[in-house]
Structure 1
């Protein structure tokens, strides 16, 4: 019995051993196989969709702000001796005035003429600078109305003037011309000036320094003495208006720019002039103080000059 039992148990052990060996072999075989590594399939890289570049909207170019022109400084007080250009307000408007002032106690007013005596046609004329130079004057202005050669109406009387005048040589021009004896005149003496409404109010005194007649009389006795009238249409046009004026012992010559004749009278009144007489103007305009301040215009038959006493 014992041997039988032993023989029955041995086969069982053999089976168990075989089973163990077989399992171990299976494990060895499996361990020798390369592991299968799954290959990752990359997902498609998304293409970046660029955002739309915004179009720059240019800002409006700012319009330059215009700098307002500086307002002129109004000065209705005439300058002291010498030359000045000033803005004068009259009747609500501003006017530019070139003005030369002189004291009659230290300055002598003279009138020089291109001709030595009366002349009725083809009369000589000179530029203002020549009158200034040959007299050693420091200031001057064109004188009385005359007949320029370029005017058709002046044929037969070119260069002539018809109004009363006493030149530096004490010669009276047009002394016998009674047609213009009602024209105003300005008379200058040492330290004083006199203005008369009509030339006939003045004799032929040669004791004075100068006499010049012209028209119109703009200011008289400190009051406006002129307004435009229909029979003098040129007086109503804008242009340079030349003058000789006085206040006390101070004499003035100058140009009111871009004014009618009536406006010129208002400007000189605003400046406080006691007396003021209009001179030739337009194309004849010429004002001198160390050089031309206005002009030169056309050549002229006479000129008003300031010389030192």
Structure 2
């Protein structure tokens, strides 16, 4: 079929319009995508700029800290640390000694509230690392405890009943309560005298051998009764559980001793001992 010239021109025109429409659509899509890509790139650039700024600030802070550390006198710093450690050790040791002195005072009186408060103040200072104030408070506490001990001793000396005789010689035998006169005053004592030719003196222990911690203990009355004795006296002082310095060696004692079963105690830690010794034999005693 033959097309007229006019129809042919119309066909060409429609084809061009269609092609132009497709081209414009493609260009529009490309423009849209380009705009979106530009927005995304711009956003990423802003984020990267913020991150760079944050990193720059961190690097500047680290650099400043490094410079500060480089400028610190390490010897001075070590000396300060050593001084602080020494202060801690010294003040802690003083606190332990003061506390143990306070425990001994409580055995003689219940009026220790003011001393307890001073100890509490010292511990608070220690917790705040105020070692100077802690040391001063502990020194004051020790001074007051000593004054109270002296006061109690003086009171005890003046409280001796009037009917207790003054006698600096022991009784010939048996039990006696008497005053012993000294340069600093009279003291009341209780004495038991016995003839060694007819009296056996034994050394008894709660443990069967040397004990370093959590050692068994007995009262003086228990020792007397289990041996059928008529009198007894405490021997070595042991480390009470209440004392902080006794941690790890509760109820132990360090002095040399041989008990009635001929068991030798504390030989390892008394190789070069200079502690005085009392030896009981058959009818004799030696110091």
Give the TM-score, by structure 2 length.
Answer: 0.42
**Larger relative contact order (CA 8 Å, sep ≥ 6):** 1
- Bigger proportion of residues as strand: 1
Structure ID, larger Rg: 1
